[in-house]
Amino acid sequence: MNSIGIDLRSKRSRYVVVSQEGHVATKGTLQSNPQAFREEFCNLDPSQTRVALEANGNWYWAADVLEELGLETHLANPHKVRLIAESTIKTDTVDATALANLLRMGRLPENHITPTRQFKSRATRTFGPQTGFRYPRKTPLSACVSIRL
């Protein structure tokens, strides 16, 4: 089974594919948008591929696209991934390789990924007009809560 580590950034993301034996099979860079992710990862076998993402401000759409493609997606907790946080060499490729290797070895500290439908339902119940909870007039709901579109 292959493990993929993806270091997400706002414009370009780096990914590394690591085999079950720990050999780097592929490295690459792609645009950080849903279409580029679909094109890059659409040909992967979901039964033979797992993906690790680092939780940052823009991981929602990437997790949704990868799960849409049927890939087993794991969300790394950035505060607990000491291998990345304490490394002296800080490059996107090194971070992506570390994520893939931690996933391969079963040592990836994970955060929970809430399914999209449940997430939207929960956000509506918590911040909807029926709750009486109001934001200042000029603040859009999307600025107060990260909602997957």
Domain of 107: which CATH number? 3.30.420.10
56 with 84, same domain?
yes
Nearest to 98 by CA among 66, 131, 118, 76: 76
Q: State the amino acid at position 117 in one-letter form.
A: R
Q: Are residues 7 and 29 in the same domain?
A: yes
Q: Is residue 67 located within the same domain as residue 137?
A: no
Co-location of 127 and 66 in the same domain: no
Pair (58, 129) in one structural domain: no
> Is residue 81 located within the same domain as residue 126?
no
Contact 112, 75 (CB under 8 A): yes
Nearest C-alpha neighbor of 46 from the set 64, 68, 72, 28: 72
Considering the domain architecture, whether residues 77 and 142 belong to the same structural domain is answered as: no
**106 shares its domain with 119:** no
Structure tokens at 120: 């939207």
Distances (CA, A) of 129 to 24, 126, 149: 50, 9, 19
Residues 103 and 127 placed together within one structural domain of the fold: no
Same domain, 67 and 140: no
Paired sense of beta strands 72-76 and 24-31, if any: unpaired
How far is 71 from 26, CA to CA, in rounded Å?
17
Domain boundaries, position 147: 114-149
Provide the number of structural domains found in the chain.
Answer: 2
Question: Quick check: helix, strand or coil at residue 142?
Answer: helix
Q: What is the pLDDT along the chain (149 residues), one digit of tens a residue?
A: 999 999 999 899 999 999 999 999 999 999 999 999 999 999 999 999 999 998 787 888 999 999 999 999 999 988 888 777 677 787 889 999 999 999 999 999 998 887 665 555 555 555 555 555 554 444 455 555 554 54
Shared-domain flag, residues 59 and 127: no
Report the distance separating Cα 127 and Cα 130, nearest Å. 8
